[in-house]
């Protein structure tokens, strides 16, 4: 198999995109889907070629210095967010990318509204920002554990029955504002099955080098699987917008998930289509003068 063309990447991205207005049922999204690709012997090579495209577009994005790209990753534990981020971004200049991992908010974060910490972590113009978990935790983990709202110091939060719908609207508005101001979004839900999560947890327990990744909290959250699925379905249904649609990427096959993620990000970068700035005739004359001076050096 040779590289993935721009039109194949666009088709893969389109396939996993949630069209705005669609009611999402995660049970209908096969976590083992590989779109008919069999694990190519050269999966690594294929991913490498796809990430080279990202590297080139990142250079152009930086040179153009007007737009930025924010990639949001959400998933259940052990779905492979970290691995996907590491592999997909491996070819990109580290100076052009910033990854921010969001844990439960603490300290000054709790003194502000829930979007504040995400706002300050946004990518600068010319940069790619990656959110490893995001503002969506506020309508996912907080929805599954409403007692977390108590710590948010929100006036009357617990009595506010319309809070989730309202937050979907707030997040949509926030994202619309970002896109209107040159920060494009790609939102990816890595969809792993409950059975595959079990296998990966067991591996984390059995293999000493993976022990550090395991946390007893993960088992507690796993027990709430169905509640999480309902929260994800509702969140994705209400926040897949024209300006920032979700992609539900099957994640039971890591090699495929990584290639699909690279295609989705690559497709968005092609759509942004950043260009190296062209120079003015005056700048060209300056370059030529500098060249003459350098060549004439004794
Ligand atoms: P892994 O998949 O390797 O476990 P992770 O993203 O789960 O990676 P952890 O350090 O295990 O990283 O967990 C981060 C935790 O922070 C998650 O359980 C997540 O639900 C929680 N978290 C993130 N944002 C919020 C939030 N706004 N409110 C409450 N909890 C949050
Ligand atoms: Mg975790």
Neighbours of ion ligand 2 (CB under 5 A): 77
Per-residue burial over 137-160, b if 16 or more Cβ lie within 10 Å, else e, is: bbbbbbbbeeebbeeeeeeeeeee
Q: Which atom of ligand 1 is nearest to the CA of 215?
A: 11
To which residue do tokens 């991913």 refer?
Answer: 47
Q: Which atom of ligand 1 is nearest to the CA of 217?
A: 18
What pLDDT shows up at residue 9? Answer: 95
Cβ of 109 below 6 Å from ligand 1? no
pLDDT at 80 (0 to 100)? 97
CA 286 – ligand 1 centroid, Å: 53
pLDDT attached to residue 2: 55
Q: Which helix (H) or strand (E) holds 247?
A: strand 246-250
Q: Looking at 45-59, 62-76, 95-109, 238-252, which range is the least confident one?
A: 45-59
pLDDT in tens, 26-57: 999 999 999 988 887 778 888 888 899 999 99
Whether the CB of 77 sits within 6 Å of ligand 1: yes
Q: Which of 77, 85, 107 most suits a substitution to test ligand 1, by most atoms within 8 Å of the C-beta?
A: 77
pLDDT in the model for residue 158: 66
Please say whether the beta carbons of 46 and 198 come within 8 A: no
The pLDDT of 57-61, averaged and rounded, is 97
What would the mean pLDDT of 72-89 be, rounded to a whole number?
97
**Higher pLDDT, residue 39 or 70:** 70
Match 């998930």 to its residue by tokens: 257
- Span 69-95, mean pLDDT? 96
Residue linked to tokens 């070629």 = 49
What separation in Å is there between the alpha carbon of 76 and the centre of ligand 1? 9
- Position 1 confidence tier, pLDDT thresholds 50, 70, 90: very low
């Amino acid at each position: 198999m040779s590289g993935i063309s721009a039109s194949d990447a666009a088709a893969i991205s389109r396939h996993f995109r949630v069209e705005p207005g669609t009611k999402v049922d995660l049970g209908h999204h096969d976590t083992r889907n590989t779109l008919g690709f069999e694990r190519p012997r050269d999966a690594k090579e294929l991913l490498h070629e796809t990430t080279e495209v990202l590297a080139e577009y990142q250079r152009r994005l930086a040179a153009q210095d007007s737009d930025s790209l924010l990639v949001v990753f959400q998933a259940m534990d052990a779905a492979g967010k970290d691995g996907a981020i590491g592999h997909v971004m491996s070819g990109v200049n580290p100076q052009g990318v910033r990854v921010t991992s969001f844990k439960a908010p603490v300290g000054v974060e709790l003194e502000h509204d829930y979007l504040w910490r995400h706002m300050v972590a946004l990518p600068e113009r010319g940069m790619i920002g990656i959110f490893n978990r995001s503002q969506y935790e506020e309508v996912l983990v907080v929805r599954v554990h409403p007692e977390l709202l108590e710590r948010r110091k929100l006036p009357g939060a617990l009595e506010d029955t319309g809070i989730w719908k309202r937050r979907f609207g707030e997040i949509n508005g926030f994202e619309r504002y970002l896109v209107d101001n040159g920060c494009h979004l790609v939102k990816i839900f890595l969809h792993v099955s409950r059975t595959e999560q079990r296998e990966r947890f067991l591996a984390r327990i059995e293999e000493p080098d993976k022990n550090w990744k395991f946390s007893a909290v993960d088992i507690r959250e796993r027990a709430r699987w169905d509640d999480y699925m309902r929260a994800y379905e509702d969140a994705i249904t209400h926040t897949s917008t024209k300006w920032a649609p979700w992609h539900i990427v099957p994640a039971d096959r890591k090699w495929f998930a990584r290639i699909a993620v690279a295609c989705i990000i690559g497709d968005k970068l092609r759509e942004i289509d950043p260009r190296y700035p062209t120079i003015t005739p005056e700048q060209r004359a300056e370059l030529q003068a500098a060249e003459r001076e350098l060549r004439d050096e004794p």
